[in-house]
Amino acid sequence: EPPELMAKFDARIDADGRIEPQDWMPDAYRKTLVRQISQHAHSEIVGMLPEGNWISRAPSLKRKAILIAKVQDEGGHGQYLYSAAETLGVSRADLLDALHSGKAKYSSIFNYPTLNWADVGTIGWLVDGAAIMNQVPLCRCSYGPYARAMIRVCKEESFHQRQGYEALLVMMRGTEEQKAMVQDSVNRWWWKCLAMFGPPDADSPHSAQGMRWGIKRVSNDDLRQKFIDATVPQAKVLGITLPDPDLKWNEERGHYDYGQIDWDEFWTTVNGNGPCNKERLSTRVKAHNDGQWVRDAALAHARKQQQRAMK
C-alpha cells in the first residue's frame, strides 16, 4: 500500500472524518466493509421471512396493514444496504449469489421460528430494539454511504420497535391465554436477541480493527449491556418476566448483571445448523427465482427507454 496514501487515510480516520467511495482506502478496510454491509443487507432481506409468515394470519386489518408496512421497510433497508455495498466496487448479483449458495452470513436471529402471533410483537420489541442499539452508533461509521443509510434505517426501526411493543401491551391487557402467549414468546426470543450483538469482545476477531477504523464505535459487550439495561424497565411495564434468574441490578457497576449466553448454540446456528437455516435459505432462493421475470421486464423496459431517448 502506498505510504503517503495510507498516511492520508489514517489522518482522516484519526480526525474522525468520513471516507467516501472515490477516496483511496486500504484493501482490508474495503473488504471489511463489504463483509459487514453485505451481511447486514442479507439480514434485512432474510429478516422479512419470519414475520412475513404471519401476514396472512394477522388478527385484524389494522395489524395486517402495520405488518405489511414493516416487512416492506425491511426489504427497503436491504436495498439501501446493497447500494451502499455497490459503492465499494462489488456487484449486487455476486453478493446475492453468495447468500443463495450459503457462503454469506446473515444474522443468526432469523433462523428461529415464529410460532405464535406474539412473536411478531416480540420481534418488533426485542429484535428491532437490539438492531437499533447496534445501528445508532453505525450512523457515525467512518464510511460515508453506510453511515448515511443508517440514519433512515434507524428512524424506520424505531417505528418497528414501537409497533411491536404496543402490540404486546395490548395482548397483556387481554385474556390469560394472550398473556401466556406473550410470556412464551419472550422466553424463546430473549437469549437469542442477546446473542445478536455478536460474540463476547474477547472472542470477537474483527472488533479491534473495526474500532480502529471507526466502523465499530461501541463494542459487542457494551452494546449488549446497554440493550439489557434499557429493556429490563420496559419488561416491567409490560408485566412479563425475562427468563434469566441471574438478571439483577448491580449497584456498584451501575448495570444489570446477567446469566450465561449459550454460545455453542449460537455458533451452531451461525454455521448453518439452526432450527430454520435450511428453510430460510430455500424460501429466499425460491423468491429470487420467482422474481426473475420482474428483473427481466425492468431491464427490457430500461433498454427501450434508452433506445427511445437516442432516437
- Give the footprint of ligand FAQ on this chain (CB under 6 A): 35-36, 39-40, 43-44, 47, 74, 105, 107-108, 123, 127-128, 131, 134, 196-199, 204-207, 210, 216, 220, 270
As measured in angstroms, the least distance from the Cβ of 97 to ligand FAQ is 17
Which residue number places its CB atom closest to ligand FAQ? 47
Cβ proximity to ligand FAQ: between 47 and 121 the closer is 47
Residue with cell 471507526: 214
Q: State how far the Cα of 49 lies from the Cα of 28, in Å rounded to an integer.
A: 32
Contact 154, 136 (CB under 8 A): yes
**Cell numbers at 257, concatenated:** 448483571
Residue 129's nearest CA partner among 89, 167, 160 is 160
Rounded Cα gap, residues 289 and 292, in angstroms:
5
Report in angstroms how near the CB of residue 296 gets to ligand FAQ at its nearest: 28
State the minimum distance, in angstroms, from the CB of residue 281 to ligand FAQ: 14
CB atoms within 10 A of CB 96: 19
Task: Pick between residue 193 and residue 242 the one whose CB is nearest to ligand FAQ.
Answer: 193
Q: Please, which residue, 33 or 181, has the CB nearer to ligand FAQ?
A: 33
Angstrom distances, CA of residue 260 to CA of 194, 198, 224, 263: 10, 14, 13, 9
All cell numbers assigned to 187: 422466553
Q: Which is nearer to ligand FAQ, 128 or 244 (CB)?
A: 128
Minimum CB separation of residue 248 from ligand FAQ in Å reads 25
If the CB atoms of residues 179 and 231 are measured against ligand FAQ, the closer one turns out to be 231
Compare residues 119 and 128 and give the one whose CB is closer to ligand FAQ: 128
Dmax (CA) for the chain in angstroms is 75
103 φ/ψ angles, rounded to the nearest 5 degrees: -80, -35
Min dist. Cβ of residue 73 to ligand FAQ (A): 9
Q: Which phi and psi angles does 90 have, rounded to 5°?
A: -110, 160
Cβ atoms 142, 216 nearer than 8 A? no
In the complex, least distance from residue 236 CB atom to ligand FAQ, rounded to whole angstroms:
23
Distance between CA atoms of residues 173 and 242, nearest Å: 18
Q: Output the smallest distance, CB 253 to ligand FAQ, in A.
A: 22
Cα–Cα distance, 85 to 44 (Å, whole number): 14
User: Distance between CA atoms of 274 and 109, rounded to whole angstroms?
Assistant: 10
Minimal distance, residue 303 CB to ligand FAQ, in Å = 34
In the complex with ligand FAQ, the residue whose CB is nearer, 179 or 199, is 199
Beta carbon nearer to ligand FAQ, 31 or 301: 31
Whole-angstrom distance, CA of residue 58 vs CA of residue 54: 6
